[in-house]
Chains A and B, each alone.
Chain A
Amino acid sequence: MLGDQPIGYLFAAPFVLFLVGIYGYPFFYAIYMSFFDYFFSAPGAEVVRPFVGLGNYARVLQDPLFHLAIRNVVIFLVINVPLTVAISMVLATALNAAIPLRAFFRAAYYIPYITASVAAVGIWLWLFSGFGLVDKILGPLAPNPSFLINGLWAMPIIALYVTWKGLGFYVLLYLAALQTIPKELYEASRVDGASPVASFFAVTVPGLRPATLLVVITAVITGANFFTEPYLLTGGGGPDNQSVSPVFLIYRFGIEQNHPGYAAAIGLLLAIGVLIISGINRFVLERD
């Protein structure tokens, strides 16, 4: 019943316990909370938390702030995911070739990824604030109001920031995947007279498809859950809530205002949305 190697269950047990304790139990508890007018209370305190059924979900779906947050996720993903895939694939290909200072460039692209968000955001504030470098360079061409307090620009800037910050990680994934493409394919394309650009599209891009699937799904999951950027870069989802995200709302309602039932409903709707998008991505990218 336990198979040939029952000791395998023992080795797997710590991770299973971790998964159940840290992810499984809270996940199901969040589902439970979302059906109640729940709030956190002191141990032993006698409190009433009425059952509201789907009430939290109904309120969330009618909440204009949630609509705005979902719109922002869509804007974010539309900009961030294609840029992430395109730039990291091109950079990985370039860094895979025998170019001068290759090790330096590999490290340079990775540094933003491992830099603390607070520090990285500080640099972007210095660049894109109204008194920042970019506004100064652009002069009269700079948008008014400036980038971070401009309803049209706040989300694209956030998407660009996340693209820049995460690039190092995705370049690394593509670099690893590039090692799996047989060199013979490039030789064959060269013999057939293909230019480097043609062989990039004919050999590299198809050869990286499994990695691209991973990059797209990872970028969608992390992207749909952006929080630090509206929190730090645009002064709490500003201007005028134009850069709020679902996770930012979860923080505001669940932690600041102690309405975790409502926040849990937002979280679960977001999780369902991410699952659907990831499913579609997988279906599209895994097709032969």
Chain B
Amino acid sequence: MSNSRHVFLAAVVALSLGIAACGGSNLAATGSAKGAIKIWYSNNAEEVKWGDAVVAAWNQSHASEQVTAEQIPAGKSSEEVIGAAITAGTTPCLIFNTAPAAVSQFQKQGGLVNLSSFPDGSSFIEGRTGDRAAQYKSPNGSYYQMPWKGNPVMIFYNKDIFTKAGLDPANPALKTYDDFLSTAQTLVTKGGVKAAIWPAPSSEFYQPWFDFYPLFIAQSKGKQLVEKGVPQFNNADGLAVANFWKQLYAKNLAPKEAGQGDPFATGQSAMAIVGPWAIAVYGGKVKWGVAPVPTKDGMDASAIHTFSDEKSIGMYSSCKNQGTAWDFLKFATSKDSDGKLLDLTGQMPMRTDLSSTYSSYFSAHPEYKLFADQAARSVEVPNVPNSVEMWQDFRSAYSKSVIFGSQSIDEAFKGAADQIKTLVKS
């Protein structure tokens, strides 16, 4: 702690204002202007490689509309960095790492360009993403984000630990909640691990996306947390999922405190809830297998929905050459660019025709096929006002009732549902 911490807020404001004074205005921006643009992309090595390749390909044939690419500046989260840049007027034209949960906030800030305002805006997005595109529409019916790539989450497991525990590593019993709990108990008792599964139990608003939400989506056959302004989790499906997790915590099969480092990579935990990005990350370190998330009574894998963990592309209102930005956005989400993305990162482009378009890739990389099948049944966070606040309220209720058990789940979920109903309407 520092002596100046007592003016923390003031410093934050000062920083924002100071940067704002240097920023430009978006008033001059037009939807058809062409010229040089700047983009930000994610800073993981695979996406950097993809970004550099796509930008180089574009720049080769667009001498007067050069694209400069930079990694998104470091910060606690991309959302905070982007939020600050919007305030300062320093956002680039496109950011290839816009979280759908933050879109309503960025839109309220006046930071995003309405992509539906381009003549082929909505048709391009819907043509590429199909029915799933509807989840990315803002409440006013327009697209302020282009759904780009998903990481449909599934259960990743360590085959060696399953073998050590005497479980079948090729076909583990993880389908129903009872199966999963029994497998988890065996793993901890005989597998020599601290945890069967170790999702972060901390209070951040986005943590439900990697514990409650994927299982809720599966159990409810594809429902979002909130639909048409009505919370969907305070019912039998939501309570079943919450009670399942509560048992894992109560039986110490999932720890109530955060692990140090990556518990799955370090062999402290036998399972993790992750997307296909994990293949590149864990591939060389862990002998892994993958299974769909469990449901209460078990479901056929082909019917299971899950959380998309999708990242979108946002066009930001500080962009002056929006015509070029739109053209580049289409170029970067073309069949070729998406193929390159799949090839370099293993992440799933948000296309309707994923498996058939890139059939040769999936033949050569069968380990990604399950994720590709799952991608077609992925569900997004709801695009509602006060989205971050909504998730924070949900997380607080979940922590209180499920992780720490200091309130009944029924009571906590009812309270959260009442709060959220008001929040998403304002």
Physical interaction between A and B: yes
Interface of A with B (CB < 8 Å)?
21-23, 25-27, 29-30, 33, 39-47, 117, 122, 125-126, 129-131, 145-146, 148-149, 151, 162, 166, 218, 221-229, 235-241, 247, 250-252, 254-260, 263-264, 267, 270-271, 274
Interface pair B400/A240, CB less than 8 Å apart: yes
When distances are taken between beta carbons in the complex, the residues of chain B under 8 Å from A254 are 9, 12
Interface pair B1/A130, CB less than 8 Å apart: no
Query: Which residue of the partner chain A has the closest CB to B91?
Result: A42
9 additional contacts (CB under 8 A) given A149-B201, A226-B5: A25-B14, A26-B9, A42-B87, A129-B260, A162-B1, A241-B400, A256-B79, A256-B205, A274-B6
| CB < 8 Å neighbour of A149 from B24, B257, B318 | B257
- Cβ of A89 to closest chain B Cβ, rounded Å: 20
Interface pair A256/B203, CB less than 8 Å apart: no
Interface pair A42/B10, CB less than 8 Å apart: no
Interface pair A256/B26, CB less than 8 Å apart: no
Interface pair A222/B5, CB less than 8 Å apart: yes
Interface pair B7/A23, CB less than 8 Å apart: yes
Show 13 A/B contacts (Cβ-Cβ < 8 Å), sorted by A. Answer: A26-B14, A42-B89, A42-B111, A44-B110, A45-B111, A130-B256, A221-B3, A222-B2, A235-B202, A235-B257, A236-B204, A240-B400, A267-B9
Interface pair B27/A44, CB less than 8 Å apart: yes
- Cβ of B147 to closest chain A Cβ, rounded Å: 23
Residue among A39, A218, A235 with most chain B CB within 10 A: A235
Interface pair A267/B1, CB less than 8 Å apart: no
Q: A43-B20, A129-B260 are in contact. Are A247 and B26 (CB under 8 A)?
A: no
- Cβ of B167 to closest chain A Cβ, rounded Å: 23
| CB < 8 Å neighbour of B80 from A23, A29, A145, A255 | A255
Chain A contact residues: helix, strand, loop or mixed: helix
Interface pair A247/B5, CB less than 8 Å apart: yes
Query: Which residue of the partner chain B has the closest CB to A34?
Result: B9
Interface pair A263/B257, CB less than 8 Å apart: no
Q: A42-B109, A222-B3 are in contact. Are A240 and B20 (CB under 8 A)?
A: no
Q: At the interface, yes or no: B151 with Cβ under 8 Å from chain A?
A: no
- Bound: A257/B13 CA distance, A: 15
When distances are taken between beta carbons in the complex, the residues of chain A under 8 Å from B24 are 43
Q: A26-B17, A271-B6 are in contact. Are A42 and B203 (CB under 8 A)?
A: no
Interface pair B3/A27, CB less than 8 Å apart: no
| CB < 8 Å neighbour of A225 from B8, B17, B80 | B8
- Bound: A252/B76 CA distance, A: 12
Query: Which residue of the partner chain B has the closest CB to A33?
Result: B13
When distances are taken between beta carbons in the complex, the residues of chain A under 8 Å from B6 are 221-222, 224-225, 270-271, 274
- Bound: A247/B10 CA distance, A: 12
Residue among A25, A43, A148, A236 with most chain B CB within 10 A: A43
- Bound: A250/B8 CA distance, A: 9
Q: At the interface, yes or no: B35 with Cβ under 8 Å from chain A?
A: no
Interface pair A145/B1, CB less than 8 Å apart: no
Interface pair A42/B110, CB less than 8 Å apart: yes
| CB < 8 Å neighbour of B392 from A45, A223, A240, A252 | A252
- Bound: A270/B111 CA distance, A: 31
- Bound: A236/B406 CA distance, A: 17
State which residues 1-46 of B face A: CB under 8 Å. 1-3, 5-14, 16-17, 20, 23-27
| CB < 8 Å neighbour of B399 from A46, A238, A263 | A238
Interface pair B14/A43, CB less than 8 Å apart: no
Interface pair A247/B318, CB less than 8 Å apart: no
State which residues 323-363 of B face A: CB under 8 Å. none
When distances are taken between beta carbons in the complex, the residues of chain A under 8 Å from B109 are 39-42, 45, 47, 258
Q: At the interface, yes or no: B418 with Cβ under 8 Å from chain A?
A: no
- Bound: A258/B26 CA distance, A: 20
Interface pair A23/B10, CB less than 8 Å apart: yes
Interface pair B400/A225, CB less than 8 Å apart: no
- Bound: A152/B83 CA distance, A: 36
When distances are taken between beta carbons in the complex, the residues of chain A under 8 Å from B388 are 256-258
Interface pair A47/B110, CB less than 8 Å apart: yes
- Bound: A238/B256 CA distance, A: 10
- Bound: A235/B109 CA distance, A: 29
- Bound: A95/B388 CA distance, A: 51
- Bound: A226/B26 CA distance, A: 38
Interface pair A222/B260, CB less than 8 Å apart: no
When distances are taken between beta carbons in the complex, the residues of chain B under 8 Å from A240 are 396, 399-400, 403-404, 406
- Cβ of A115 to closest chain B Cβ, rounded Å: 13
Q: At the interface, yes or no: B194 with Cβ under 8 Å from chain A?
A: yes
| CB < 8 Å neighbour of B404 from A45, A130, A239 | A239
Residue among A39, A40, A41, A126 with most chain B CB within 10 A: A40
When distances are taken between beta carbons in the complex, the residues of chain A under 8 Å from B317 are 42, 45
Q: At the interface, yes or no: B389 with Cβ under 8 Å from chain A?
A: yes
